[in-house]
Structure 1
């Protein structure tokens, strides 16, 4: 048997240490989600994070504004975003898609809605279309209510005002949080005061507020189909090649609008419920959904994913 020289031993030990470090680093690699503070996106993201953790992956989820999400994906500071509402995010996300730094990977929720809305009593009072807003400027206090600053919906509203679209010059965009805006709508509703606000579906607002969506949206506002939207999963460039198993999971990960509406409704009735817990409770009643999500997917160590997840679901 040939003896190994001291020099060779050092080389072999060094190579082994490097290989071990690389293997350990790969095993500890974090799947990084970026999200925004919208209830629907929070539900989807926390559910995906939980399922990947169940499969043995290390994950993280950072909540930021929409522009920061795309910068993080483009600069390899995040891997996945489940809340790309289109076409309303075109002005923010489109340049990243064109450059190829962010990939519009898969539609995770078709049939959504994102546009301006009013309480039903306002709609019945004559404000039914974007072109009607200016007619009732005084009753509206020359205000349109949005959500957090930097949000794509806010940017669309501000552009409508700046460009005097629909004769909206002189209106003011009121930025707030999602909950702040909805509280304002409900407060106005108690006194039958008039208000125009940013609305979307799925969301429990559709259950707790008697509301109507306005017609008249154009291609350069909320889309030319009266705000009908598709929500996409976005990934950073190259992620699907680096993590093909997670990428398959993301391809399978689609959400019926009714699912998110029902989970949100449950959360609204029981405010102590966290998004992940409400979502898991819904999934335990609809196992066919997570069975489809896990079709062909493996755990981090290469075992079939479905039995692992099903075991944890049944144990809860």
Structure 2
């Protein structure tokens, strides 16, 4: 009887091991869905993390498209597992999901990130090399913009200036639209939305190359910050209550405030956080120096390099950066893949 019991126990144990191995195998054949971010830093960071996840840990990955808010909603439902560059706490969708314990922001991936309203330096100080006179020499704050709509004239709306906003669907587009109202600038400036991040970049770059005044929303890290000399306009200090009115598109009386201090993290779903502890541990250690990132982004933009190829180049050129995130055995696998 004892022999039979031992045999049965052994068979059950073997079945359990086989079942566990089978589950693990199935798990590794189910892709981890990353959000397909359309801005350069987000696209590059996505591919860096995908390459490490695939080659270092052996998981399949893919990307799913969508606007910022729709990706956050998908993350809360676990239809999506990872958003590689999450400006956490900026949208109601994220805040609601985070409070419900459905999404988590891992790490502090890029220090000194920022966002705001910018103009080229030559608009304020001129440019002797290009013989450009200051067009708005007194411009320092968003309040000062009321004096200069003619400087940033909108060719499609005579008598108004043009503010170049984010594309529709971005969380920042809602915030900027509310800021125009809060600062009393909506009567002086048209709220112009580009069709995409690439179209937005093209319009800004074309204006700067021609030496034309341009007023626009932007953020850092980006190739634009490394390529041109820009000035960020001053806004009222950050106020949490005012910020809540800016992130709510339906609020009829938004209050002015500098944007929420930036903290870039990796957004993950609850199921991912519980099911992939080794990836969670790695994501929490990700730290990309902003100067290295801006250099990589500038090269990617200037050479029109696909983000996947730019990510490979980043891993090859900056081993001391990413090796600090990984255990030795994973580092060896990633190195072998390069």
What TM-score do you get using the length of structure 2 for normalisation? 0.77
The partner residue of 1:174 within 192, 196, 221 is 192
Q: Is the 8 A contact 1:217 1:226 kept in 2?
A: no
Report what 2:321 is aligned to.
289
Report what 1:9 is aligned to.
none
Residue 21 of structure 1 and its aligned partner are, at CA, apart by 5.9
Residue 107 of structure 1 and its aligned partner are, at CA, apart by 1.5
Report what 1:38 is aligned to.
39
- In structure 2, the gaps of 5 or more residues are 5-14, 126-135, 155-160, 248-255
Residue-by-residue CA offset, 1:143-182 (whole Å, 9 max, x unaligned): 2112321112111111123xx3221132322111222122
Note the 1:145-184 alignment, pairs <5 A.
145-161=164-180, 164-170=181-187, 171-176=189-194, 177-184=196-203
Report what 2:51 is aligned to.
50
**Structure-2 separation of matches of 1:191 and 1:111:** 30
Q: Is the 8 A contact 1:214 1:226 kept in 2?
A: no
Instruction: Look up the SS of the partner of 1:111 in the other structure.
Output: coil
**Structure-1 separation of matches of 2:48 and 2:259:** 30
What CA RMSD, in Å, does the superposition of the two structures yield over aligned residues? Answer: 3.0
The partner residue of 2:215 within 196, 199, 203 is 196
Report what 1:97 is aligned to.
98
**Structure-1 separation of matches of 2:290 and 2:81:** 24
**Structure-2 separation of matches of 1:104 and 1:19:** 29
| Residues 269, 160 of structure 1: alpha-carbon distance in 2 compared, 3 angstrom cutoff | closer
Residue 226 of structure 1 and its aligned partner are, at CA, apart by 7.2
Report what 1:269 is aligned to.
302
The partner residue of 2:332 within 296, 300, 307 is 307
| Residues 130, 247 of structure 1: alpha-carbon distance in 2 compared, 3 angstrom cutoff | same
1:69 equivalenced with 2:94 (yes/no): no
1:245 equivalenced with 2:246 (yes/no): no
Instruction: Look up the SS of the partner of 2:78 in the other structure.
Output: coil
Which segment is superposed worse, 184-193 or 53-62? 184-193
1:144 equivalenced with 2:176 (yes/no): no
Report what 2:116 is aligned to.
115
Instruction: Look up the SS of the partner of 1:143 in the other structure.
Output: strand
The partner residue of 1:79 within 78, 81, 104 is 81
Report what 1:255 is aligned to.
288
Which segment is superposed worse, 127-136 or 287-296? 287-296
Residue 101 of structure 1 and its aligned partner are, at CA, apart by 1.4
**Structure-2 separation of matches of 1:242 and 1:199:** 36
**Structure-2 separation of matches of 1:16 and 1:201:** 49
Residue-by-residue CA offset, 1:75-133 (whole Å, 9 max, x unaligned): 1101111222256x244422222222111222211211211111112233232211112
Q: Is the 8 A contact 2:48 2:315 kept in 1?
A: no
1:212 equivalenced with 2:231 (yes/no): yes
What is the total number of aligned residue pairs between the two structures? 295
